[in-house]
Amino acid sequence: MSEAELSSPQSTGSLADKIEDLASRKEEALHAGSEKAVQRQRDKGKMLARERIDYFLDEGSFHELDMLARTRFADAKSRPYTDGVVTGWGTVDGRKVFLFSQDFTINGGSLGEVFAEKIHKLMDLALSVGAPCIGLNDGAGARIPEGVVSLDGYGGIFYRNVAASGIIPQISVIMGPCAGGAVYSPAMTDFIFMVEKSSHMFITGPDVVKTVTGEEVTLEELGGATSHSSRSGVTAFVAESEEAVLDDVKKLLSFLPSNNIEPAPVLESSDSVDRTNEALLELVPSDNSQPYDVTDLLTELVDDGDFFEYHQNWAGSVVCGFARFDGQPVGIVANQPLVLAGVLDIESSSKAARFVRTCDSFGLPILTVVDAPGFMPGVGQENGGLIRHGAKLLYAYCEATVPRIQLITRRAYGGAYVVMDSKGIGSDLSFAWPSAEVAVMDPAGAADIVYRQEIQNSGRPDAERKKRVAEYKDAHANPWLAAERGYIDDVIDPVETRRKLIAGFAALKEKHRELPNRKHGNVPL
C-alpha cells in the first residue's frame, strides 16, 4: 500500500471541512465493528468494548488514545480504526487509571502490530505517571496473518508487565476468550478477574488437547472461571456478570495505592476505634478441635464488617483479603479451621505467599491471624514440593518491610507457628489470646514422643497417655512461655482485639526499614 493511499483523501479545503472530516473519521472509529459482529457479541450477553469502559470509569472521564490508529499490514482485508483495542485514561472514584479494552467485533480482538503498539504506549504512560493499568481482555490471541510481528508485540507487553511489577497495580479482567500467548500477560499482572460462563483462559484449546492427548474436555472445564478460581488458582476473583466483575475491580482499587510510593487511600469510617468484640467469646470455640469460620472473626474485627476476600474458592485452608482498620487499608492472612483444620499445604502456602508479596509491594500493612496445627502431612504433599512451596511463604514474610502484626487465637504449632509471621521472621508486634497454644507440636503428638516409655511401661497405657497429654498441655500448650521470652508482646483479652490492632498499626505507621544493596533475592519458586 502506497504512502498516497495511507494519507488523508482530503489534503485541501477549509478548516471547517477538515473538522468535518475529523468528526466523520471519529464517528467511524466509534462504530468500527460490523453490525453482524456487534450482534454476535450481544447475543452472547456481552457488553461492547466501549460500553465496558463507560460502565467502569467515572462518567465523562475517559480520554481516548490512538483512536485513529489502524493496521499497516499490506495484506489486510480491511483497515478499521482502533485496530481492535480501545486505549486511554480516566478516573475511578476520582482517581486516575489507564486502561485498554479489547474489541472482539474487530478481527476477533486479535493482536497485531498496531494493536500491540497501542498497548505498549498505554503501559509506558501508566508507569511514567504512576497510575494503575487495567486490561479488559476479550480477544482471539495473535493475529495469524501478521505472523512473528504479532508475537513480538506480545513480547513487548510481557516485558512491560515485569517492568511495572511492584510499582503500579496491574489488573487483568478476562471478559471473553484469552488463549495462547495472550494468557501470559494476565498471569504476570497482580490480579486476575473472570466472569462466570463467559470468560475462558487456556494455553491450548479443547481441540488441540484432544488431538495431542486424546482427552475430551469442554471449554468451561478446561479454562472457565470455575476451573481457574477453584482448581488452578489462576484467577483471584470471579463474578456472575460483567457489571459485577467491573464493580469488584473498582472495590479492589479502593484498597490499593496508585503506585508503590503513594499511600493507600484512607476512608473515613463510622465504626468506632473503641468498639469491643464480645462476640468473639462465643464465636471461637475453646476446644481447639472444634472448627469455626475465621471469616466471621475477621468481619467482627474490621471496619464495618467489610472484608474483601482474595482467592475465595482456592486453597481454602488459608483465607486472604483486604479490609480496613480505622479507615486504613490492610491485608489479612488467616488460617481457616473450617477447611483441613487450617493446615498449611502446597496450595495455601503459595496463595498466602503471593498475597503477602503483593501487600508488601504496595505498602499495605499485614495482619496474620494464626490458628494452625502445622503443615499437611502425606506422601503426596512431600512429593509435590511442600518444602519448596512452604518456603515461598516463609521468604515472603521475611522479605516484607511493611508493618506486620501477628495475632494467635488458638493453635500455633511447630513450623506453622514460625512461618505464620512469628517474631523470629520479623513480625513487628505479636499478640495472643489466653487460649493460644504455642508449642513445637500438638500435645497428643508430643506426649506420644516425650513420654513413649512411660506410656508403654504403664499397666494402663490409655489412662497414662491421657494423663501425659494433660501434663504436656498444662506445661507447654499455652502463651505464657512465649510471653516470658518476648516472642509474644502481649497476651490480650479477645474483647480488646480490635482496639489493640488499631493501636498497633497506628504505632507502626512510620515504620522504615533499609533493604540490603542487591539486585534481588532468589525466591524459592
Residues that are catalytic: 180-181, 415-416
Dihedrals φ, ψ of 97, to 5°?
A: -140, 155
Q: Which of these, 466, 468, 462, lies nearest to 450 by C-alpha position? A: 468
Any idea which residue has 502425606 for its cell? 378
DSSP summary character for residue 18 = H
Quote the CA–CA distance of 394 and 374 in Å, as a whole number: 14
Given a contact cutoff of 8 angstroms between Cβ atoms, the answer to whether 501 and 407 are in contact is: yes
CB within 8 Å of 143: residues ≥ 6 apart: 107, 110, 111, 112, 115, 150
Burial of residue 98 (CB within 10 Å: 0-12, 13-18, 19+) is buried
Q: Which of these, 145, 142, 146, 147, lies nearest to 158 by C-alpha position? A: 142
Neighbours of 394 (CB within 10 A): 18
- Cell, residue 353: 505467599
CA distance between the termini of the chain: 49
Given a contact cutoff of 8 angstroms between Cβ atoms, the answer to whether 398 and 425 are in contact is: yes
Q: What's the CA angle centered on 463, arms 462 and 465, to 5 degrees? A: 65
